[in-house]
Structure 1
Amino acid sequence: MGKLISQMMVSIDNFIEGPNQELDWHVVDSEYNEYAEAMLYSVDAIFFGRITYEHMAGFWTTDFASEHSPVIAEKLNQLPKVVFSTTLEEATWSNTSIIKQDIEKEILALKQSEKNLIILGSSDLVSSLTELGLIDEYHIIVNPIILGSGKPLFKGLGSQKELSLIEAKTFQSGNVLLRYSNKN
């Protein structure tokens, strides 16, 4: 069976974006890009919620993205992408499909097909899938910043979820990658 991974950048105080949806605090350097490239080569498809999909599609299809992060841009544009949304009517980014209902059934079918899947960002989707017990592994990259306020990583979970630490890696930039597996 394939696995579903959630990958998210957070501040030390557990926010995924600033109070005005700012992401300008993300520490992205060559060492982070090496991690991101390896991660993208290990998966068969990418999952998004609508908001993250729209941000990513708007950036990774640009000449700027291709010039500054060519390997990541190529892989993101090439991989199959799935957007889980009840409101998105059309997906214009190459290799993208939209799933509007039966999310749990669709994800279980993809995992049964031995595909490794990753959710990039998309905290609302991550919270929903965490509640359903569908995420197998969490990659949380803690950035060396305190935002003070913003949107928290996990919102609205109904119960405690136990995880097991797989790896902790410190980057020279001060980022810390924490990899956890779900104890389900």
Structure 2
Amino acid sequence: MRQLIAGMKISLDGRTEGPDRLADWVEAWSEDYGLTPRIDACILGGGMYPGYVAYWTSIQVDPSQPTLATGRPPSPGELAWAKAIGGLPHHVLTRELPEERLPGTQRLDGLAAVAALKRQAGRDIYLVGGGRTTASLIQAGLVDELRLLVYPLIAGPGTPLFDDTTQRRGLTLRQAEPRPDGRVLLVYGAG
């Protein structure tokens, strides 16, 4: 069975966004978890998908322009991810797909559809986010691995990753990798 791997960039206090609904501490939205070689599909929540499309499409169209989120030119990692997503199918948990979408985008209708996608032949699946979608899929027991890139920052008020968690879930630490800039990559298995 394919593995569903969530990757999230969070503050030390577990926030995915600040009070303004932005993670302004994240300097690049590249795939910094080491997943690209192992995946052949992505899952996103319907709330995050339109911004995801706008962000990555703008980099694909003109990689010399500043990004929408940071106001700086895309990082090398962002350029690599913008190229990689062109060949990846994207599955969106939503009732209705927006008009603006990446080629190969399909709608997923609920948790059973996510479970069915995991049973299909293929490589692993990257759960890009957003935070509510990630938390709900973890809660449903569908996430096999959680990769957290923790920034050395206490964000204070904002959106916690596990705000709607209703039950305790044990995880197994598989890897802890400090980065030179103070960030730490934590990789957890779902049990």
* 8 Å CA contact retained: 1:27, 1:143: no
Structure with greater helix share of residues:
1
* 8 Å CA contact retained: 1:66, 1:73: no
Q: Which residue does 1:113 correspond to in 2?
A: 120
**Match runs of 1:116-131 below 5 Å:** 116-131=124-139
Q: Which residue does 1:168 correspond to in 2?
A: 176
Aligned identity (percent) is 29
How many residues in Structure 1 have an aligned counterpart in Structure 2?
177
Q: Which residue does 1:83 correspond to in 2?
A: 92
Following superposition, the deviation at residue 79 of structure 1 comes to: 0.7
Partner of 1:106: helix, strand, or coil? helix
* 8 Å CA contact retained: 1:137, 1:179: yes
Q: Which residue does 2:156 correspond to in 1?
A: 148
Following superposition, the deviation at residue 147 of structure 1 comes to: 1.0
* Gap runs ≥5 in structure 1: none
- Of 60, 81, 94, the residue aligned with 2:56 is 60
Summarize the Cα distance change of 1:86–1:136 in structure 2 as closer, same or farther, 3 Å threshold. same
* Gap runs ≥5 in structure 2: 65-73
Per-residue CA shift, 1:83-106, capped at 9, x if unaligned? Answer: 10125444522221112x3x2222
Q: TM-score, normalised by structure 1?
A: 0.87
Summarize the Cα distance change of 1:34–1:14 in structure 2 as closer, same or farther, 3 Å threshold. closer
> What CA distance in whole angstroms lies between the structure 2 residues aligned with 1:9 and 1:121?
10
Q: Which residue does 1:24 correspond to in 2?
A: 24
Q: In the alignment, is residue 44 of structure 1 matched against residue 40 of structure 2?
A: yes
Residue 111 of structure 2 aligns with an amino acid whose one-letter code is: E
The structure 1 segments of at least 4 consecutive aligned residues displaced by more than 3 Å after TM superposition are: 32-36, 63-67, 87-91
Residue 16 of structure 2 aligns with an amino acid whose one-letter code is: I
Q: Which residue does 2:71 correspond to in 1?
A: none
Residue 43 of structure 1 aligns with an amino acid whose one-letter code is: I
Q: Which residue does 2:105 correspond to in 1?
A: 96
Per-residue CA shift, 1:27-63, capped at 9, x if unaligned? Answer: 44xxx95845x41221110000122211110110114
* 8 Å CA contact retained: 1:91, 1:97: no
Partner of 1:44: helix, strand, or coil? strand
Residue 131 of structure 1 aligns with an amino acid whose one-letter code is: Q
Q: TM-score, normalised by structure 2?
A: 0.84
